[in-house]
Amino acid sequence: MQVTRHCAVTYRIYPDKAQAGLIDRTIGCARLVYNLMLETRIDTYNRTGKSCNPTPAQYKDEYPFLREVDSLALCNAQLNVAKAYNNFFRDPKHVGFPKYKAKHRSAWRYTTNNNNRNIRLIEGGRYLKLPKVGVMRARQHKTIPDDWKLKSATVEHLKSGGYTATILFEYETQAPEPVRPVHIVGLDYASHGLYVSSDGEQADYPRFYRQMEPRLMREQRRLSHMVKGVR
């Protein structure tokens, strides 16, 4: 039976100065769009009592620099807001209300999706191409099978100053067929026999401790008569 699995592989990436600046702007724009959509949702509910689903496009006239970055990163920010709301309404007692993302508290990352190979590994993973950012040097220690499909990339600016890209792959694998038991046996713990089965059988273990108990008593008596430091 074929099943679909996912695997995330993290690459260390080395953007040049211009590419690093664009990555940081994309991270900031994704955070801005998240906060704007959260603010719109809260304001709409307070005024009308109804929910809404804002999109990044409605903010691009007021903030024209949003057009300069990867649009899919902004779409993923929209999905993150919707997911945070759904989680809250599904379990409000244990999941807090969505919070605004602060520049100095939130992780510096954004996620983009593979669309018509706009995300691509080149030369076996020595280089990585990202939308808008372009091609940059990369490093990883895992060989990716040819049949794995690249789905998305999460780019992060680490606190140490470096950059990583976590690539999500999808692949098909063979799942083991379910096994139907022919005979079921129940086991019950027994202090003297380790266990007793539902068929009445007991464990026949060698009882090493009981066999060595007389010798252990002799050695303990010898030890009790010894003087420390004297052979």
Sequential DSSP letters for 41-63: HHHHHHHHS------GGGGTTTS
Q: Is the pLDDT of residue 230 over 80?
A: no
Q: pLDDT category, 153, cuts 50, 70, 90?
A: very high
Give the residue-averaged pLDDT of 121-146.
Answer: 92
Share of the chain above pLDDT 70, in %: 99
Q: pTM here? A: 0.73
For the chain, give the number of residues.
231
The confidence score (pLDDT) of residue 132 equals: 94
Give the residue-averaged pLDDT of 13-31.
Answer: 96
Q: Is the pLDDT of residue 96 over 90?
A: no
| Cβ-based neighbour number of residue 49 at 10 Å | 7
* Residue 22 to residue 91: CA distance in whole angstroms: 37
The confidence score (pLDDT) of residue 8 equals: 95
> Which among 99, 156, 144 is positioned nearest to 120, based on CA atoms?
144
**4-8, 161-165, 191-195, 196-200: range with lowest mean pLDDT:** 191-195
* Residue 80 to residue 35: CA distance in whole angstroms: 11
